[in-house]
Amino acid sequence: MALSRVGRGSSLPLGLHVRQYDGVPLPSRSPELAFCASAERMRRAAAVPLLTAGAALGAATGYLLVLLVAASRTRRVALCGAKTAGPHRFLILVPAHDEEQVLPRTLRGLAQLDYPQARTCVLVIADNCTDATADVARAAGARVLVRCDPTQRGKGHALAWALRRLDEELADIDAVVFLDADCEPSPNLLAAFDARLHDGALAVQAAYLVANPEESWPSALRWGAFALVNLVRPLGQNALGLSSGILGSGFVLKRELLERVPWEAFSLAEDAEYHLRLVAAGERVAFIQDAAVLSRMPTSLAASREQNLRWEAGRWHLLRTWSPHLVREGLRRRDSARLHAGLEPLVPPQSLLLVGNCAVLGAAVMLHARRARAMALANIAGQAVYVLGGLRLARAPQSVYRAMAAAPLHVAWKLCLQLRILGERGPSGWIGTRAGSSP
């Protein structure tokens, strides 16, 4: 029995060589076809994780679009409150760490609030300060508590310490307002809080926005980010009956709520942590869009680096420590507020969402994965609708739209911060914003 090759004149499919065994042709694949078959198997195997990643990113984008629609359908209503009770008595807590430069502007804003001064008390917590923060606060007529404890640093520890010190005095207070030392309140802030508390809310958050979008492209992009996170999202959550979150500054808590859920939030994201504690206790935070606090942001990326690290590191910490518990309780109790609060930290920032969508799109194009490519393009389109629609709803100034030309640089910068956090090189203490401006 002999093997023989077919002659050149034989008509064979491309890539097949045929040998004969006793006159019977035996085909075998060429190396080229074997490689193509292997590549096809790899493409099909890679399509599954690509589709999974695209679906996860699409879920985040879809959630944001639902909030945008809910927020856009919210009508502005006059906050009148109940007329049977007098105005609430507010204690305004201002935690400050080396804030002598920005504190005078905040205290002037508090002095100009459209609310009876006899029903308010401003107290500045000079926490581990090395400058004249306490003297500046006293000169402006505010009460001052000086705290020196280098072993327990951070705004969460400062607030808990002050609230314990004021335990007896809180008996004469109806509610506590929390305001950062670098924030300017709108004149109607307390009046809006008063009305919403009279309507039955126990915790209320005002819009928290950027005061200086015209000064540089980083501050303009920060304006856009704050508007999307601190106005559009909580407005949509409030419209859907969910808890709107605590945004770090410009919120109020009724005294009885603080007694029931004491301030025991000491992480890098102490505000978000306390919000999750409230939700776990069955409470929710209401949102008002007609009052705001404004904060001046750094005008360069370098100046805002450490605070961004703190925010992102705090979000990852809450995701690990609180989300599993809240998701389990939400499913067990069939409680949408708990479930939402547990899942909401999974929504990535817009920069990371864009990086993820572009990565899926690039991989899908290289692997000729048509469904993954279509999904990625749909996600990018949905993200664009959310960002542009949210900015329009928030009435963004023209400087914000112009600054979007520098968005790729900002995205790369944010990605570097995330990589540093994942490498466990994030901050470990209280880092405030430094806008670099005089009072």
What lies within 8 Å, CB to CB, of 426 at 6+ separation is 268, 309, 310, 312, 313, 420
Q: Where are the domains of the chain?
A: 46-71+346-422, 82-344
Q: Amino acid identity of 272?
A: A
- What distance in Å separates the CA atoms of residue 96 and residue 104, rounded to the nearest whole number? 12
- Region 180-205: mean pLDDT is 97
CB atoms < 10 A from the CB of 155, how many?
26
For residues 191-216, b (16+ Cβ closer than 10 Å) or e, as one string?
Answer: bbbbbbbbeebbbbbbbbbbbbbebb
For residues 282-319, b (16+ Cβ closer than 10 Å) or e, as one string?
Answer: ebbbbbbbbbbbbbbbbbebebbbbbbbbbbbbbbbbe
pLDDT score recorded for residue 436 = 42
Which of 101, 162, 92 lies closest to 127, judged by CA?
A: 162
What lies within 8 Å, CB to CB, of 280 at 6+ separation is 322, 325, 326, 329, 338, 341
Does residue 227 contact residue 309 with C-beta atoms inside 8 Å? no
H or E stretch covering 33 = helix 31-72
- Region 59-63: mean pLDDT is 97
- Region 422-439: mean pLDDT is 50
pLDDT tens per residue across span 382-396: 999 999 999 999 999
Helices (H), 112-228: 133-139, 155-165, 189-198, 217-227
- Share in percent of the chain as helix, strand, coil (round to 5): 55, 15, 30
* Beta-strand relationship, 16-21 and 3-5: antiparallel
pLDDT: which is higher, 15 or 407? 407
Q: Which CATH class is domain 82-344?
A: alpha beta
- What distance in Å separates the CA atoms of residue 129 and residue 143, rounded to the nearest whole number? 16
Only one residue has tokens 């749909």, namely: 378
pLDDT tens per residue across span 214-258: 999 999 999 999 999 999 999 999 999 999 999 999 999 999 999
Q: Collapsing DSSP states into helix, strand and coil, what is residue 374? A: helix
H or E stretch covering 410 = helix 407-422
pLDDT tens per residue across span 350-392: 999 999 999 999 999 988 889 999 999 999 999 999 999 999 9
Only one residue has tokens 């540089």, namely: 216
- What distance in Å separates the CA atoms of residue 134 and residue 113, rounded to the nearest whole number? 22
pLDDT tens per residue across span 119-163: 999 999 999 999 999 999 999 999 999 999 989 989 999 999 999
- What distance in Å separates the CA atoms of residue 344 and residue 233, rounded to the nearest whole number? 11
Does residue 341 contact residue 272 with C-beta atoms inside 8 Å? no
In which band, very low, low, confident or very high, does the pLDDT at 413 lie, cut at 50, 70 and 90? confident
Q: Amino acid identity of 49?
A: P
Helices (H), 73-186: 103-111, 133-139, 155-165
pLDDT score recorded for residue 82 = 47
